[in-house]
Amino acid sequence: MTLPAGIQDVQDVQHATGTGAGRRTSRPVALLTASALVAALMAVPLVFLLIEAAGSGAGELKGLIFRSLTWSLLWNTVRLAAVVTVACAVIGTGAAWCVERTDLPGRRVWAVLVVIPLAIPDFVVSFGWNSLWTWAHGFTGAVIVMTLAVYPLVYLPVAASLRVADPGQEEVARSLGVGRVRTFARITLGQARGAILGGCLLVALVLLAEFGAFEILGYQTFTTEIFTEFHGYSFAASCALSLVLVLLSLLVLAGEGALRGRGGRVTRTGPMTQRITPPQRLGRLRWPVLALFAALVLLALGIPVASAVYWMTAGLPPALSGGANVSLLNAAAHTAGYGAAAGALATVLAFPVALLAVRHAGRVRHLLERSTYLVLGMPGVVVAFALSYFTERYTAGFGYGTPALLTACYAVMFFPLALVGVKASLARAPVALDEVARSLGQRRLAVLCRVTARIAGPGLVAAFCLVFLSVVTELTATLLLIPTGTQTLATQFWSYETNLSYSQAAPFALVMIVVAAVPSYLLWRFFQRPAITRG
């Protein structure tokens, strides 16, 4: 699962108000080279896909794309994406506004509770619903499950942007004679516009890429079909469908870019002081709103957890037998190992690109940075498929099924997340500090260690956590590329789940939630910190 790129908006504001950044005149040859290499690596899956498609011939490709299956997949994918995105936008924005701007009782607690579902893998949520109630399947099931699983992707950036947006604008609107409701529509939504769009973009991309949840719910989309075709060794068909899926993702990206336009930026004039403004009074709506929050948390958090606990206790003896315990520990260790390796790799890869983006102006760096964001439009199943097929075609299978390939796949998939985190953290360490440090007699390397890395450190940890978290809850690419004989929490859960061994699958779901909770907490702490450090 992906996480808030909408947070970028908030970080952009910091960057704009921060001083001293972005002036350097010498051409950063080493940085440009490193960034170009990273961008090239990110482009490998897409380029390979295009080469393959071109190689298989236009006629065959046309036949594979223009068939009734494609249209039904397209209809399934698009209608689900549309409904769930709108639902997430409403729930995420509404919840964020209530938590950040109203006198909702227990706001601090809700702020945590409504975000936790993000740490629960989508396929665990769908397992929770589907294993308890058989009616939770197909389109209805997919809408319910996905909305509950991914609405925090809208909530988080919107809450962050409302936190830094100037509440004074609302007051000015009221003083100009605009009523409460219209102020909300014209000012508040305007302030959060970029964040809402960013969140919706992520939701749509997640829906295009989702595999496990839909497989459980018996809902067929491009991703599930690509997976099936790939497993059936129909590479040409996988390739053709992947192209359509990538095109769809790029359309979503382009659409978001067009909607965003030039307006809708969170801007704030004057010093970035956190002024305390009295929250809006909910009044008579207080109890209904509270009830809605309780229902949301119950459905999104309560049911998956309760369901996993229920199945685990239902089958207590076999699930906790010695052998199961060992496999649980093993799987947890593998999951954590892959998460850490991919997190480190993605963060390291993101570093030069982020440094270039934050500290050097220019068209080349802009292009490089943008090109790496293309990966956002590459669903995990496509990246995994492209990489595995790549090894099959060009290295005679060498590298396939190795931990290195899976780690690389994760690093490519989650590179945009790492980039967001690293950029945000580097923006906190302006060039001016480096210059001062050098004038105080410190060499470049010492400056990097004693100043830049120290200030950017927490943000680098956040970037690492983002990737780690995503790897823990990743299923699609993992199933395709995992070395034979190795099991992660996700794959082990999956194999029990598909065998309908719910009581054996349940402990893996719970451990996954626990493992994902730690980096989630660190992340939450990071974004909760006051955004601006003076000096």
Partner 1 sequence: MRDVTVGGLGKTFGAQSVLAGLDLEVPAGSLTAILGPSGSGKTTLLRLLAGFERADTGTIGIGGVLVDGPGAYLPPERRRIGYVPQEGSLFPHLTVAGNIGFGLPAGQRRGGKVDALLETVGLGGFGRRYPHQLSGGQQQRVALARALAIEPAVVLLDEPFASLDAHLRASVRADVQEIFRRAGTTAVLVTHDQDEALSVADRVAALRDGRIAQCAPPEDLYSRPANPRLASFIGEANLLEGVVSGATVKTLLGALPLDPAAAIPGAAGQVTVLIRPEQIDIAPNEDGLTAHVTSYRYHGHDAVLCAQPEDDAGVAPLVVRITGGPHRPVGSAVTLRARGPVFAWLAD
Taking Cα atoms as reference points, which of 497, 471, 514 lies closest to residue 217? 497
Among 228, 267, 330, 442, binds partner 1 (CB under 8 A): 442
**533 counts as binding partner 1 under rule CB under 8 A:** yes
528 or 533: CB nearest partner 1: 533
Tokens, residue 122: 């989508």
**498 counts as binding partner 1 under rule CB under 8 A:** no
**20 counts as binding partner 1 under rule CB under 8 A:** yes
x-or-dash string of contact with partner 1, 25-44, rule CB under 8 A: xx------------------
Distance CA 165, CA 170 (A): 10
Query: Whose structure tokens read 């006051």?
Result: 530
Among 12, 60, 171, 435, binds partner 1 (CB under 8 A): 435
Determine the number of helices (DSSP H) and then strands (DSSP E) in the chain. 28, 0
Residues 45-84 touching partner 1, rule: CB under 8 A, are none
Residues of the chain by 3-state class (helix, strand, coil), percent to 5: 80, 0, 20
Question: Among 164-172, 225-233, 435-443, 509-517, which window interacts with partner 1 (CB under 8 A)?
Answer: 435-443
Determine how many CB atoms are found less than 10 A away from the CB of residue 290: 16
Taking Cα atoms as reference points, which of 300, 301, 318, 303 lies closest to residue 502? 318
Question: Which H or E run includes 357?
Answer: helix 322-359
**450 counts as binding partner 1 under rule CB under 8 A:** yes
Question: Among 31-39, 254-262, 412-420, 426-434, which window interacts with partner 1 (CB under 8 A)?
Answer: 426-434
306 or 453: CB nearest partner 1: 453
Left (φ > 0), alpha (ψ -120 to 50) or beta: where does 97 sit?
alpha
Minimum distance of partner 1 from residue 111's CB (angstroms): 24
Distance CA 233, CA 207 (A): 24
518 or 532: CB nearest partner 1: 532
How many residues in the chain? 535
**443 counts as binding partner 1 under rule CB under 8 A:** yes
**451 counts as binding partner 1 under rule CB under 8 A:** yes
Question: Count of residues binding partner 1 (CB under 8 A)?
Answer: 24
Distance CA 177, CA 127 (A): 51
19 or 484: CB nearest partner 1: 19
**441 counts as binding partner 1 under rule CB under 8 A:** yes
370 or 443: CB nearest partner 1: 443
Among 117, 198, 430, 459, binds partner 1 (CB under 8 A): 430
259 or 455: CB nearest partner 1: 455
**437 counts as binding partner 1 under rule CB under 8 A:** yes
Backbone angles phi, psi at 415, to 5 degrees: -55, -45
- Residue 282 to residues 95, 98, 190: CA-CA distances in angstroms? 13, 9, 21
Determine how many CB atoms are found less than 10 A away from the CB of residue 211: 25
Beta bridge partners of 102: 280
x-or-dash string of contact with partner 1, 454-493, rule CB under 8 A: xx--------------------------------------
282 or 431: CB nearest partner 1: 431
Minimum distance of partner 1 from residue 413's CB (angstroms): 32
- Residue 406 to residues 123, 164, 380, 388, 399: CA-CA distances in angstroms? 20, 38, 11, 9, 10
**535 counts as binding partner 1 under rule CB under 8 A:** yes
Q: Which residues bind partner 1 (CB under 8 A)?
A: 19-20, 25-26, 428, 430, 432-433, 435-443, 450-451, 454-455, 533-535
